[in-house]
Amino acid sequence: MTGNAIEVRDLTRKFGAFTAVDRISFDVRRGEIFGFLGANGAGKSTTIRMLCGLLSPTSGTARVGGFDVRSQTEQVKLHIGYMSQRFSLYDDLTVGQNIRFYGGIYGLDDARLRERAAWVLRMADLEGREESLTRTLSGGWKQRLALGCAILHEPAIVFLDEPTGGVDPISRRNFWELINRLSAEGITVLVTTHFLDEAEYCNDIILINAGRLIAAGSPAELKSRYITNPILEVRVDESGIVEALETIRACPWALETSVFGTALHVMTADESEGKRLIRQTLSAARVMVHQITRIVPSLEDVFLYLLDQEAAKAGAEKA
Amino acid sequence: MITLLRAVKPIIVKEFRQIRRDPTSLGMLLVLPAVLIVMVGYALNFDVKHTPLVIFDQDRTAESREFLDKFIQSEYFDYKYSAGGYGEIEEHFLQGRAKIALVIPPRFARNLIAGNDVHVQILVDGADANTASQAMGTAVRLTADYATKIVAEAFARKGKQLYMPVDFQPRVWYNPDLISSKFLVPGLIGFIIVLTAVISTSLTVVREKERGTMEQLMVSPLRPFQIVVGKTVPYIAISLVAATAILILGYLLFDVGVHGSLLLLYAAILIIILGALGQGLLISTVTDSQQVAFMVSVFSSLLPSFLLSGFIFPVASMPVALQIFSNVAVNKFFLVVVRSVMLKGAGLDAVWPQFVYMVIFAAVMLGVSIKRMQKRSM
């Protein structure tokens, strides 16, 4: 086994004529938090399912913990933990019964199960609630209990498929603290998400779109690689935001324009020249400008840029 | 093998806990059999007794009275009305107040004494074919008895002994009183087992698919057959309890005992349970929602068990095409075994072909569903 926890080469999965995952290759280093990003239907879940041995690849190879997902499925399953956004718990069992059940199917003996159950209850902040029915727990608790059940058997690699879907922001932050702790203990975490702020917590990320890998690297690398031009945040009067977007988009000097909440992000070749052009254009269009500031690009800027490039490429191929 | 089975235990424990927490499923598994046996045993009664009778006596003599007494005293008929004409009879039939009518012609007594032919008319409401044919049969028998008696008296008056060229002596074996509950209760075991086992198995698996817990089991090192064993053992146990409850209730309420080997009976019950569980699992591998699974389960278990198995309607009286098609109902074979073993005390030598079919059915159902689960996981 090399230093990589996961090695994926040209992994492909087709469903009939539809290619859900198209020749994806990437490596995940041991102990890192690896982010897997993409829109719904981009192929994230299909890839994870192949890596967990739930789905066999159409072609290509993947090794998880040094085991081939196609020929050594049983070994792979012993060494991974998996948690999906559905928090696969039995609602009609108590917290303690869920823990004992998952411990039982992984073959934990009584002593180890007791020790691990105590650990899960502490980690999930559920001490004293072993007898509560799982359906009475709130989303954040369920989420941490589901994670606890998924890693009862202390796997070296954990797959988290949209683990923060449907929970409140505070629970989301607590959950990422847990993920960081796992990583600090040397556990490899592969996590899919469509929250781009969460991607900033990852050591490395990949972005997939329509089954294909379109970018890979650390968040800092991706920003410096793709966003070389300054990005200006333009705050305009709320009523004029659509007008402003359309006007600026039509200008050739605006390299990239998108709406972020109540502001526009505009990429230009030069900061001061850009500011001057934006003010001039918008005042001609009678849109009131409150403020223009240069901002540090976020991953969202990177991904919108990359997805635009992809769309342009696809358009060019068609034409 | 022991390690393979050890991982199954937590699933069995969990499944029992879930069943206990869910009053609806527990009710369906244990109360339904009890309700059904009482309903089927008492309500689904083909023994046609107390058929309401209307009498149109145009003779009104001691002789006509004697003849009619045969009917009035029979428990098969309830003398309800006497009519003064055909119009009144029709009125009673239309209102559903009477199902059978006896019309005694004028000069009934005089013709009888003179030794002439006498024609008594029996009218039957044929809307309910089963009741009609049974009532008619009984009426014909009573009339024949009476006629024989008259002839015997006539012979006796002439100092001669009545002589019967062919004496008809019916004797019914296994169920001498022709009580339909003896025929229905054994059939009910198969009906209830198939219905509850198919539905509960398909639902328990599909529920896990809906909740996403099935996926969680699939990423664990459990193999599909371990999941299948773990999820079905509790239902095997419950179905055995339900079958035993029906046997006990059938004995207590309807006096339906087991004449043959209990071991053989339970072997048959176990095999059909396995087949039904296999059918439920198979349904769960092709459906993704509990509603669909429930509908497919009911359709594929209730209809064949009820209509095609011979539970109520004899297979032999179906059209040939339907008789061939009736082989899809595994219950058809189970019924033969259970009725033979319970009522006739038959041994394996008499029912082994049915056993072979049931074993094949169970093996195919379980085999295909495990195969499908493995494929789905890949």
The DSSP annotation for B272-321 comes to: HHHHHHHHHHHHHHH--SHHHHHHHHHHHHHHIIIIISSSSS-GGGS-HH
pLDDT digits (tens, 9 = 90+) for B276-308: 999 999 999 899 899 999 999 989 988 888 888
Per the CB < 8 A criterion, the answer to whether A88 and B211 are in contact is yes
Contact criterion met (CB < 8 Å) for A54 and B215:
yes
Distance CA B291, CA B296 (A): 9
Higher pLDDT, A220 or B160: A220
pLDDT, averaged across chain A: 89
Per the CB < 8 A criterion, the answer to whether B135 and B77 are in contact is yes
Distance CA A39, CA A210 (A): 9
pLDDT digits (tens, 9 = 90+) for B133-150: 888 888 888 888 888 888
Which residue of chain B comes nearest to A107, CA vs CA?
Answer: B7
pLDDT at residue B5, rounded to an integer? 74
pLDDT at residue B378, rounded to an integer? 44
Residue B377 pLDDT more than 60? Answer: no
pLDDT at residue A52, rounded to an integer? 92
Provide, rounded to the nearest whole percent, the portion of chain A with pLDDT above 90. 48
Q: Residue B100 — φ and ψ, nearest 5°?
A: -140, 145
Residue B162 pLDDT more than 80? Answer: no
Kindly state the average pLDDT of the residues B229-233: 90
Kindly state the average pLDDT of the residues B352-363: 93
Of A74, A77, A104, the CB nearest to B10: A104
Interface test with A, best of B2, B14, B217 (most A CBs within 10 A): B14
Q: Nearest-CA neighbor of A98 among A158, A31, A149?
A: A149
pLDDT at residue A90, rounded to an integer? 92
Kindly state the average pLDDT of the residues B364-378: 79
pLDDT digits (tens, 9 = 90+) for A96-152: 999 999 999 998 889 999 999 999 999 888 988 989 999 999 888 899 999 999 999
Q: Which of A107-111, A209-213, B47-51, B76-80 has the lowest mean pLDDT?
A: B47-51
Kindly state the average pLDDT of the residues A177-204: 90
Residue A186 pLDDT more than 50? Answer: yes
Contact criterion met (CB < 8 Å) for A101 and B6:
no
Query: Tokens representing B267?
Result: 């072997």
Residues 6+ apart with CB under 8 A from A162: A84, A85, A192, A193, A194
Q: Nearest-CA neighbor of A124 among A79, A83, A155?
A: A83
Indicate the pLDDT class of residue A65, thresholds 50, 70 and 90: very high
Q: Residue B56 — φ and ψ, nearest 5°?
A: -120, 95
Residue A2 pLDDT more than 70? Answer: no
Higher pLDDT, A91 or A315: A91
Indicate the pLDDT class of residue B46, thresholds 50, 70 and 90: low
Per the CB < 8 A criterion, the answer to whether B332 and B307 are in contact is no
pLDDT at residue A33, rounded to an integer? 95
pLDDT digits (tens, 9 = 90+) for A267-281: 888 888 999 999 999
Interface of B with A in 163-222 (CB under 8 A): 211-213, 215-222
B14 to chain A, closest Cα gap in Å: 7
| DSSP H or E run through B174 | none
Interface of A with B in 51-110 (CB under 8 A): 52-56, 74, 77-78, 80, 82, 84, 86-93, 97, 100-107
Indicate the pLDDT class of residue A257, thresholds 50, 70 and 90: confident
Q: Nearest-CA neighbor of B120 among B69, B51, B68, B49?
A: B68
Q: Nearest-CA neighbor of B186 among B279, B277, B269?
A: B269
How many separate helices (H) and strands (E) can be counted in chain A? 11, 14
Kindly state the average pLDDT of the residues B189-218: 89
Kindly state the average pLDDT of the residues B332-344: 90
Which residue of chain A comes nearest to B374, CA vs CA?
Answer: A54
pLDDT digits (tens, 9 = 90+) for B79-132: 888 888 899 999 998 888 888 999 999 988 888 888 888 888 999 988 877 788
Kindly state the average pLDDT of the residues B4-16: 85
Residue A82 pLDDT more than 80? Answer: yes
Distance CA B297, CA B303 (A): 10
Please name the residue ranges forming H helices in chain B.
2-6, 9-21, 23-26, 32-42, 62-73, 86-94, 108-114, 129-157, 180-211, 213-219, 224-254, 262-286, 290-303, 320-325, 330-339, 348-376
Distance CA A175, CA A148 (A): 11
With tokens 């992000």, the residue in question is: A265
Kindly state the average pLDDT of the residues B199-218: 90
ipTM: 0.81
Torsion of the alpha carbons at B12, B18, B19 and B21, rounded to the nearest 10 = 150
Angular region, B195: left φ>0, alpha ψ -120 to 50, beta rest: alpha
pLDDT at residue B3, rounded to an integer? 67
Interface test with A, best of B15, B16, B208, B216 (most A CBs within 10 A): B216
Distance CA B84, CA B81 (A): 10
Residue B198 pLDDT more than 50? Answer: yes
Kindly state the average pLDDT of the residues A67-93: 91
Higher pLDDT, A86 or A72: A72
Q: How many CB atoms are closer than 10 A to CB B37?
A: 25
* Cβ neighbours of A106 in B, within 8 Å: 220-221
Residues 6+ apart with CB under 8 A from A76: A51, A52, A53, A64, A65, A67, A68, A69
Kindly state the average pLDDT of the residues B327-342: 89
pLDDT at residue B376, rounded to an integer? 58
Higher pLDDT, B18 or B375: B18
Kindly state the average pLDDT of the residues B243-247: 89
Of A74, A80, A93, the CB nearest to B14: A93
Tell me, yes or no, if the pTM score tops 0.90.
no
pLDDT at residue A133, rounded to an integer? 92
Contact criterion met (CB < 8 Å) for B21 and A91:
no
pLDDT at residue B1, rounded to an integer? 58
pLDDT, averaged across chain B: 86
Which residue of chain A comes nearest to B220, CA vs CA?
Answer: A77
Residue A1 pLDDT more than 50? Answer: no
